[in-house]
């Protein structure tokens, strides 16, 4: 680097780095500090309690149940979303065959891309209202109304989707998957368009079917994009606060009877409702550590040798 360029680069980066330290790193440090105290949130007087908050945290059945729910989200949301997005992306990019014998998407693929991506433009607040109507606990709800028309339920006993312990987590997962498939379809489609068509055409000449083309060509060449999607969806699964707090019963969500609790809803309830802010900060630190661990493990577990084409 030439003489004087160090000063230029340092001066150019000074303000962004300073802002990052002040508005990102410092709040993390504060949260870790508060997690070691009995801070009540509003009062500026608090005492140092060491690791007492963390000891109490792992004896809290509600929080431990919330951790289990987040683990379920972490397993099912990325798997279902990525599988659906990969399937749809493959079909709209390489799932059809043109009349000339080449490779093309299914008929109407451009229209399908718009339709699949549409949920992504809706905010989570709008999704909560929309699916609140879908999951209504009377026969006026879309899902119950459909099941009633099919004769699968009795009008006197509609299913309370968001108040049934056996259904509530799956109902929330369905919303997240419906919202996310379109975005990852576009992500995978962009990666697929960089794959030379000659590779697919050579496979077709050799007699490969759609399934063989997908598993032998598409998936290996898209592995970096799949890895990235898995990390982002894992972060989404570790949060879930907006949907759970707005769609389920209870203060800041989590109902019925804590069957849809997540770590974020338990944390916010303790911080804002019970006034146990130091305890809530300990939950935030645990969430941070778990999210980092999940990201690192996912990146290492899905690491493969880069394929060149």
Angstrom distance (rounded) from CA 192 to CA 226: 12
* Residue 101, pLDDT above cutoff 60: no
Mean pLDDT of 272-282: 91
Q: How many helices (H) and strands (E) does the chain have?
A: 15, 2
Q: What is the pLDDT of residue 113?
A: 79
Q: What is the pLDDT of residues 13-41, one digit of tens each?
A: 888 899 999 998 999 999 999 999 999 87
pLDDT over 90, % of the chain = 36
* Residue 224, pLDDT above cutoff 80: yes
| 209 or 157: which leads in pLDDT | 157
Are residues 167 and 259 in contact, defined by beta-carbon separation less than 8 angstroms?
no
Q: What is the pLDDT of residue 96?
A: 61
Token pair of 1 as six digits = 């680097």
Mean pLDDT of 131-149: 89
3-state SS class at 309:
coil
Q: Mean of the per-residue pLDDT values for the chain?
A: 85
Whole-model pTM: value is 0.86
Mean pLDDT of 138-165: 87
Band the pLDDT of 198: cuts 50, 70, 90.
Answer: confident
* Residue 309, pLDDT above cutoff 60: no
CATH 1.10.3720.10 correct for 52-301: yes
Residue spans per domain, the chain: 52-301
Q: What is the pLDDT of residue 308?
A: 58
* Residue 278, pLDDT above cutoff 90: yes
3-state SS class at 26:
helix
């Amino acid at each position: 680097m030439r003489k004087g360029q160090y000063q230029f680069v340092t001066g150019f980066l000074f303000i962004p780095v300073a802002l990052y330290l002040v508005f990102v790193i410092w709040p993390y440090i504060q949260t870790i500090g508060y997690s070691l105290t009995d801070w009540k949130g509003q009062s500026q007087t608090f005492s140092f309690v060491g690791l007492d908050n963390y000891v109490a945290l792992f004896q809290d059945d509600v929080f431990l149940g919330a951790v289990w729910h987040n683990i379920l989200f972490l397993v099912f949301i990325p798997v279902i979303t990525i599988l659906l997005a990969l399937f749809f992306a493959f079909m709209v990019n390489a799932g059809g065959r043109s009349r000339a014998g080449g490779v093309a998407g299914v008929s109407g693929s451009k229209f399908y891309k718009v339709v699949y991506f549409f949920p992504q433009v809706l905010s989570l607040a709008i999704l909560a209202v929309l699916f609140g109507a879908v999951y209504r606990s009377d026969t006026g709800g879309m899902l119950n109304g459909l099941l009633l028309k099919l004769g699968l339920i009795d009008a006197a006993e509609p299913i309370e989707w968001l108040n049934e312990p056996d259904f509530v987590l799956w109902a929330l997962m369905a919303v997240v998957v419906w919202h996310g498939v379109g975005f990852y379809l576009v992500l995978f489609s962009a990666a697929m368009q960089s794959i030379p068509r000659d590779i697919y055409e050579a496979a077709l000449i050799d007699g490969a079917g759609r399934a063989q083309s997908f598993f032998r060509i598409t998936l290996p060449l898209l592995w970096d994009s799949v890895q990235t999607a898995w990390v982002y969806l894992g972060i989404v699964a570790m949060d879930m606060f907006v949907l759970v707090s707005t769609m389920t019963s209870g203060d800041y969500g989590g109902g019925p009877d804590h069957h849809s609790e997540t770590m974020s809803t338990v944390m916010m309830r303790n911080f804002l409702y019970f006034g146990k802010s130091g305890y809530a900060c300990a939950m935030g630190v645990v969430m941070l550590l778990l999210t980092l661990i999940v990201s690192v493990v996912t990146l290492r577990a899905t690491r493969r040798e880069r394929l060149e084409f």
